[in-house]
Amino acid sequence: MSDIAPPAESPLVPLAPPHGGDLVKRHRLSTRLWHWTNAVTLLIMLMSGLMIFNAHARLYWGEYGANFDSPWLKIGSARIGTHEYGYLQVAGHRVETTGLLGYWKDPDGTPHRRAFPYWATIPSAYSLADARTWHLAFAWVLSLGLATYLIWSLINRHIQRDIHITRREWRLRHVWQEVKDHARLRLPTGAAALRYNTLQKIAYAMVLFGLLPLMILTGLALSPGTDAWLPVTEIFGGRQTARSIHFLCAFALVGFFVVHIAMVVLAGPFNELRSMVTGWYRLPKERDR
């Protein structure tokens, strides 16, 4: 580690330099609690959000947007002769998505013409009201959870110590080396595995300070009540733009989730899962060079 030695009470760095094979304390209770609360909350937010989207499966830019206006994204169904199909349309280009988006069958074989299929939504059968009930209740859990976690992580210096990207780490050569190591699946071992690597820090920082705050702010921007007292809708360039950003950020979070799970599997799912449940992590053995 290039930075000065942290205080002895730091849970992240034991007094003697750790070696590969050592069981070390890796994640604080606040991190673990927030991680799992957030995992459940984001799943509920995503699935209920997809159901809300089903009520009007179009996205626009600007302040207004409805059926007479042209959407930049649309999920729908159409028919050519007897062939009915689902499609996703982005900027005028259509891709057929039958079975997945726009036209799909439920387990009973009944066809539906909604955007997202039953297995992706809360609840599984169309209900805008129930989806809103879930979405808007858990919006509080997401917002207060994030705010508490960020404040707590500033106080216990988790952000400064573990997420903060140092000037050395920002160097292009360093980042490029990490990209190459990741591409070859040469993940950090030994004491180096104790700290987040730069790509990991960038990903976490983007979620913590970018995507999650954007989700909350664009969500607030959709509220006609909020629009009266907070200029958030205006800042995003209109309610329909805010709705589009809300949707795009949601899928960016899905993208983060996919990469996150892939990295957990590659880094050793048991060890990773244990560290996020109990806090204890076994450092991977140093490679023979």
Partner 1 sequence: MSKLILSRRRLIQAGVVGAGGLLLSGCDRLTRDPKVLDFLGEAENLHRVTQRGLAGDALAREFAESQMSPTFRANGSLAVADPVYRAHFAQGFSQWALRLDGMVERPLMLPLTALKQFPQRTQITRHDCVEGWSAIGKWTGPRVATLLDLARLQPEARYLVFHCADLYGGRPYYESIDLVDALHPQTILAWAMNGRPLEEQHGAPLRLRVERQLGYKHAKFVTRIEAVAALDGIYGGKGGYWEDNGRYAWYAGI
> What is the binding site for partner 1 (CB under 8 A)?
52-53, 55-56, 58, 63-69, 119, 122-125, 127-130, 132-134, 136-138, 140, 222-230, 233-234, 239-240, 243
Structure tokens at 246: 């809300």
Cβ 246 vs Cβ 219: under 8 Å: yes
- Among all chains, which residue has been given the structure tokens 């409805």? 66
Nearer to partner 1, 198 or 218 (CB): 218
Q: How far apart are CA 58 and CA 65, in angstroms?
A: 9
- Among all chains, which residue has been given the structure tokens 């160097």? 171
Cβ 142 vs Cβ 216: under 8 Å: yes
Shortest spacing between CB 129 and partner 1, in angstroms = 4
Task: Output the DSSP codes for 192-257.
Answer: GGGS--HHHHHHHHIIIIIIHHHHHHHHHHT-HHHHHH-THHHHTTSHHHHHHHHHHHHHHHHHHH
Shortest spacing between CB 90 and partner 1, in angstroms = 18
Nearer to partner 1, 123 or 145 (CB): 123
Structure-derived torsion over alpha carbons of residues 186, 188, 190, 191, reported in degrees to the nearest 10: 160
Nearer to partner 1, 67 or 82 (CB): 67
Shortest spacing between CB 21 and partner 1, in angstroms = 32
Nearer to partner 1, 10 or 133 (CB): 133
Shortest spacing between CB 185 and partner 1, in angstroms = 26
Q: Name the helix (H) or strand (E) containing 93.
A: strand 93-96
Structure tokens at 30: 């606040």
Structure tokens at 143: 């917002």
Shortest spacing between CB 108 and partner 1, in angstroms = 13
With CA atoms as reference, report the closest residue to 86 among 122, 112, 53, 121. 112
Structure tokens at 179: 């990209």
Q: How far apart are CA 92 and CA 86, in angstroms?
A: 15
Shortest spacing between CB 130 and partner 1, in angstroms = 6
Task: Give every CB contact of residue 126 below 8 A, 6+ residues apart in sequence.
Answer: 51, 54, 112, 114
Nearer to partner 1, 23 or 144 (CB): 144
Q: How far apart are CA 20 and CA 286, in angstroms?
A: 6
